[in-house]
Structure 1
Amino acid sequence: METLGGTAFHATVSIAAMLLIWLILGKRQIGELSPFDFAVSITAGTVVGAGIVDPHIELSRTIVALVVLGVLQICVSWLSIKFRKIQRSLSSDPTVLVENGQIIKANLAKVRVPVEILLQMLREKDVFDITEVEVAIFEPHGRLSVLRKPEYSPVTPQQLKLNVDANRILVPIILEGVLQVDLLKKMGFSPQEIEEFHQKYQDRIDNVFIAFMDKQHNLHITEEGILESNVFFH
């Protein structure tokens, strides 16, 4: 029982330390990690896994190893920002795979991307006719950036010289029956106005799944699958 408890404690602390280090390193998706970042991630996972399954490995050694990996990653990231050559050595350069509707076979081989995968990535960009592509670039993080030829690009309001309204930003002011007071304050409501609204609509707020508010203070309420719009906040 003590062994099981120690293992559970070791696992909890190790995972918490690992998550803390990644939060310090910053938010990035797995696909955006450089080869060095990926190597650090694999090593950290191995260190944590070994510490969990082997009771002879002290927790302090696992934590020290994770801290060292985190510090090393931070130092390398800082150096790669300061020195362009280091960044280039740790990651690959963008590679053009399609130019003027033609696939560049040599570059496909260079980045080891099969033509079937390239076509799949183009379809994910809503490109089903490769002749529409001006250029397609395989980015270092493994994604494809596509620029269509001008004649196949969507027409914008600016090109048509049309005046359009600004995009609306909807702020969730009620989440599962809870009024988001801080967000309402940021939208310009006083504590007194918020309290009056809360008292007036308490029963209904409790039954709201989610409610958004725009800059004009219109509410857009989702309550048991029903959508209401243009309900003014008074």
Structure 2
Amino acid sequence: METLGITLFRVVAGMGVLLVIMLTIGRRQLGELSSFDFLTSITIGAVAGALIVDHRIELASSLIALLALGGMQLFFGWLSIKIRPVNHKINFKPLVMVENGQIIKESLRKIHMPVETLLQLLREKDVFDITIVEFAILEPHGKLSVLKRAEHLPITPSQVNFNVTPNSILVPVILEGKLQEKALADMGFSSQQIEEFRCQHLNSIHNVFIAFMDQNKRLHVIHDDAREHNVFLH
């Protein structure tokens, strides 16, 4: 029982430090990490795992190591922003993979990528005919950016002088039967208007799963009793 208590304490302490590190570093996806960030993250995970399962490892030393690794990651992140050459050294540069429909073999060799993988990445961008590609660039985070030739790009309303209505942003003002007063206030409602809105919809709010409001103060309601109609054939 004592061992279980020690393990739980080490789990809470380790995860607490990891949470502090994550909140300090900021919100980034795995694919957006630099090579240094990726290696540091792996090391942090290994140290945290060892801290939890191996009671022979001193708790204080492990926590200090985690904080030091997090500090290094934060420092090099700051350094790469302030000093551009550092950023170029610890991060990969964008690499042109396709230019004017031609695959750059030297680029494939640099990153040891088979041509089949490049073709797969192009298909994921809805490119099945490589001749329509003007540029395909492999970004530092590993994703492929594709620019098609001008004649193969979709036509936009501005190109044909066609007027379109502005985009409508829907804000949830009722969630599971509860009025979101802050959302209404952010949309410009006064306290009196919020209370009037509540009184106006008092009998129906509890039956609403979610209700959105657009910039023109129009409601789009999804009721609790919405059901699937099974229109798909199997």
TM-score, normalised to structure 2, is: 0.91
Deviation sequence 1:161-185 (CA, Å, 0-9, x none): 1222211111111222222211110
More off after superposition, 120-129 vs 131-140? 120-129
1:107-146 equivalences under 5 Å are: 107-146=107-146
- Runs in 1 of length 4+ with deviation above 3 angstroms? 224-227
Specify the code of the residue in structure 1 equivalent to 2:111.
V
1:214 aligns with 2:214: yes
1:166 is paired with a residue whose SS is: coil
Quick one: distance in 2 between partners of 1:201 and 1:56? 62
Change (3 A) 1:88 1:216: same
2:158 is paired with a residue whose SS is: coil
Quick one: distance in 2 between partners of 1:135 and 1:143? 14
Specify the code of the residue in structure 1 equivalent to 2:21.
I
2:145 is paired with a residue whose SS is: strand
Change (3 A) 1:224 1:134: same
Question: Which residue does the alignment assign to 1:97?
Answer: 97
Task: Output the aligned Cα RMSD.
Answer: 1.6
Change (3 A) 1:207 1:5: farther
1:20-35 equivalences under 5 Å are: 20-35=20-35
Question: Which residue does the alignment assign to 1:232?
Answer: none
Change (3 A) 1:58 1:203: farther
Deviation sequence 1:173-227 (CA, Å, 0-9, x none): 1222222211110101112221232244244222222211110011111113649
- Quick one: percent identity of the two aligned structures? 54
Question: Which residue does the alignment assign to 2:41?
Answer: 41
Quick one: distance in 2 between partners of 1:132 and 1:59? 58
Change (3 A) 1:202 1:114: farther
Change (3 A) 1:192 1:13: farther
Quick one: distance in 1 between partners of 2:89 and 2:225? 53
TM-score, normalised to structure 1, is: 0.91
Q: CA deviation at 1:93?
A: 0.8
Question: Which residue does the alignment assign to 2:10?
Answer: 10
Count of equivalent residues = 227
Quick one: distance in 2 between partners of 1:72 and 1:198? 52
Q: CA deviation at 1:48?
A: 0.5
Specify the code of the residue in structure 2 equivalent to 1:32.
E
1:172 aligns with 2:167: no
Q: CA deviation at 1:39?
A: 0.9
5+ residue gaps, structure 1, are: 228-234
Change (3 A) 1:59 1:196: farther
Q: CA deviation at 1:58?
A: 3.3
1:51-62 equivalences under 5 Å are: 51-62=51-62
Quick one: distance in 2 between partners of 1:122 and 1:225? 43
More off after superposition, 192-201 vs 6-15? 192-201
Q: CA deviation at 1:126?
A: 1.4
1:188-203 equivalences under 5 Å are: 188-203=188-203
Q: CA deviation at 1:44?
A: 0.6
Deviation sequence 1:20-55 (CA, Å, 0-9, x none): 211211111100100100011011101100100011
